[in-house]
């Protein structure tokens, strides 16, 4: 299932008019190892799935934001679905934001929507960076 997610994410990035390079890992432990070994070459944006094996997105986000060298990394949280109701999903968004995530995206089932939510998230991140620069 992970390869399908990566395939569609890569395909969506290829169709978005933004220059990107995709690097993937298979689980949360690999992610944290990759980030700590590449602290001097961090990605501009990390799309982090909540439901990763070995270490969840919550655990990785907490570790990233507690690490002095990683805490400025822009993190966009991704989840496949949230079926427990809008109020609980709003609580999840609030919790992730308080933990340091810049965005929260629920992956839509439709590819065109999937591409659009990725593009919109990248656009918001870029706009925030531009507005912060002196």
With cut-offs at 50, 70 and 90, classify the pLDDT of residue 130.
low
CA proximity to 76, closest of 54, 106, 55: 106
Residue range(s) defining the domain that contains residue 63: 45-134
> Does the CA dihedral 62-68-69-75 come out positive or negative?
positive
- Asked if the structure places residue 33 within a domain, the reply is no
Burial of 48 (0-12, 13-18, 19+ CB in 10 A): buried
- Asked if the structure places residue 101 within a domain, the reply is yes
**In the chain, how many domains are there?**
1
Query: pLDDT digit string (tens) for 27-79?
Result: 999 999 999 999 989 988 999 988 888 999 999 999 999 999 999 999 999 88
Give the domain CATH number at 119: 3.40.50.2300
In terms of average pLDDT, the best of 15-19, 86-90, 94-98 is: 94-98
For the segment 107-112, the average pLDDT, to the nearest whole number, is: 85
The fraction of the chain above a pLDDT of 70, given in percent, is 89
For the segment 99-122, the average pLDDT, to the nearest whole number, is: 88
Q: Is residue 59 a contact partner of residue 28, using CB atoms and an 8 Å limit? A: yes
Q: Is residue 36 a contact partner of residue 64, using CB atoms and an 8 Å limit? A: no
- Asked if the structure places residue 37 within a domain, the reply is no
């Amino acid at each position: 299932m992970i390869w399908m997610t990566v395939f569609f994410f890569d395909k969506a990035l290829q169709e978005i008019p933004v220059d990107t390079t995709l690097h993937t890992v298979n689980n949360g432990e690999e992610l944290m190892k990759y980030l700590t070994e590449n602290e001097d070459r961090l990605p501009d944006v990390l799309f982090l799935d909540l439901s990763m094996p070995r270490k969840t997105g919550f655990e990785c986000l907490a570790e990233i934001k507690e690490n002095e060298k990683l805490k400025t990394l822009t993190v966009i949280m991704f989840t496949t679905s949230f079926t427990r109701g809008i109020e609980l999903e709003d609580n999840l968004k609030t919790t992730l934001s308080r933990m340091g995530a810049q965005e929260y995206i629920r992956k839509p089932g439709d590819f065109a929507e999937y591409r659009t939510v990725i593009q919109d998230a990248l656009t918001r991140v870029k706009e925030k960076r531009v507005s912060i620069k002196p």
